[in-house]
Amino acid sequence: MSAGTAQLRRLAPVSDSFTGIDFSAIGKQLGYGHVVHSDNVHDGSVIPVPVAVISSGPGPVALLVAGTHGDEYEGQILAHELIRELEAEQLTGTVIIVPAANSPAVRGAARVSPIDAGNLNRSFPGNADGGPTAQVAALIAGELLPRADFLIDMHSGGSNATYLPSAFIYRGPDEELWEAKLRAVRLLGLPYVMVVAPLLEPASLSSAGDLAGVLTISTELCGAGTVDRQVLSTIRGGMPRMLADLGIMRRDTDAGDAAPVAEPQWLELVPESTVTSTVAGLFEPLVDLGESVLAGQPVARVHFIDELDRQPRVFHARIDGVVAIMRRPTLVDPGAHLLHVAELLESPPA
């Protein structure tokens, strides 16, 4: 997409891809994006993607996305709260909120869409003429992202994993945006920041944001297919503070916790972070989430289900670091990542 085309789309007040949304209007609008699909259930109907737009008029634009994976809940709850509670008078710009991006997956309590098995966070930039998940990706990347100055994609570990409560950022895409990412995640106030390689997942929303030159951060808000009350409280306080710093929320309104923000712990995921099972069986962790470990330390073992006299297979950390991600289901097959050990950085990454 050329810069000129992106600017025209940004300024376009309405789009045939949405019902109930005029992007030039002031106030709060609740509508939905269109996904058209024909099968035994959806023939002759639209699969709605809920969208809210809250605007005070011209100014910077934030795009907040949750429910990219349907079984990740803290971000969804925060998105719904913001839709209900945020008013145009509190803003100096616009907030676009997508609380259930992969709405079939949200309704199915699943990571991927039950309609086409599509993983939305591996589907960008999408295809407006493709299947349901590809259409959602095209709706976000082609219609909403070009309007945005800031993007946050809110994830958790889902039903399959638990993460340390973290902001999650791809390195780059340039020095200016990298510095802006570091500032934003500090203000968000989560206790950890996980740093990963540039364009780690090329078809993710984070990569789409980086490729579009939009200030983009993500989160990993615990997980386990449930809601962590403490991390939800933390991000409730941090989101308004960050939006105020970005010039999107008025500073004379409730802009989050006024107390000084503690410096997060900086972690980096590297290829050697993974501890991966080579056998099938029952996963037993030997360490806890957040625990410091050393390279070569036993961190997990897998018990064989049918070989009753066989000792469990023991797995070791490959690097020194902090246990940052822990698998949730106990039953594993070969290739399952049991946990991830992140390198602990002494200072914010340059």
For 95-138, write each residue's pLDDT tens digit. 999 999 999 999 999 999 999 999 999 999 999 999 999 999 99
Confidence check: pLDDT of 6 > 50:
no
Query: pLDDT tens digits, residue range 264-316?
Result: 999 999 999 999 999 999 999 999 999 999 999 999 999 999 999 999 999 99
Confidence check: pLDDT of 240 > 70:
yes
The angle, 0 to 180 degrees and rounded to 10, between the axes of the packed helices 229-245 and 175-188 is: 130
Give me 92's structure tokens: 């100096």
Confidence check: pLDDT of 151 > 50:
yes
Cα 124 to Cα 51, 133, 209, 212, 238: the distances in Å are: 18, 9, 10, 12, 28
Cα–Cα distance between 231 and 227 in angstroms, integer? 9
- The torsion region of residue 296 among left (phi > 0), alpha (psi -120 to 50) and beta comes to left
Q: Is residue 239 very low, low, confident or very high in pLDDT (cuts 50, 70, 90)?
A: very high
Cα 143 to Cα 10, 14, 137, 139: the distances in Å are: 8, 10, 10, 5
Q: What pLDDT does 1 receive?
A: 38
- Counting residues of the chain whose pLDDT is more than 70, the rounded percentage is 94
Cβ neighbours for 99, distance < 8 A, ≥ 6 positions apart: 50, 52, 66, 67, 76, 79, 80, 83
Mean pLDDT of 332-349: 95
Confidence check: pLDDT of 44 > 90:
no
166, amino acid identity: S
In terms of DSSP bridges, do strands 298-303 and 321-327 run parallel, antiparallel, or are they unpaired? unpaired
pTM for the structure as a whole: 0.92
Q: What pLDDT does 10 receive?
A: 53
Spatial contact of 18 and 146, defined as CB atoms under 8 Å apart: no
Cα 38 to Cα 47, 118, 130, 336: the distances in Å are: 10, 16, 12, 35
Q: Strand pairing partners for 301?
A: 284, 314
6 burial (CB, 10 Å; 0-12 / 13-18 / 19+) is middle
Q: Which helix (H) or strand (E) holds 138?
A: helix 132-138
Give me 86's structure tokens: 């945020």
Mean pLDDT of 153-168: 95
251 burial (CB, 10 Å; 0-12 / 13-18 / 19+) is exposed
Confidence check: pLDDT of 2 > 60:
no
Cα 71 to Cα 23, 54, 57, 226: the distances in Å are: 29, 26, 34, 8
Give me 77's structure tokens: 């709850």
Confidence check: pLDDT of 79 > 90:
yes
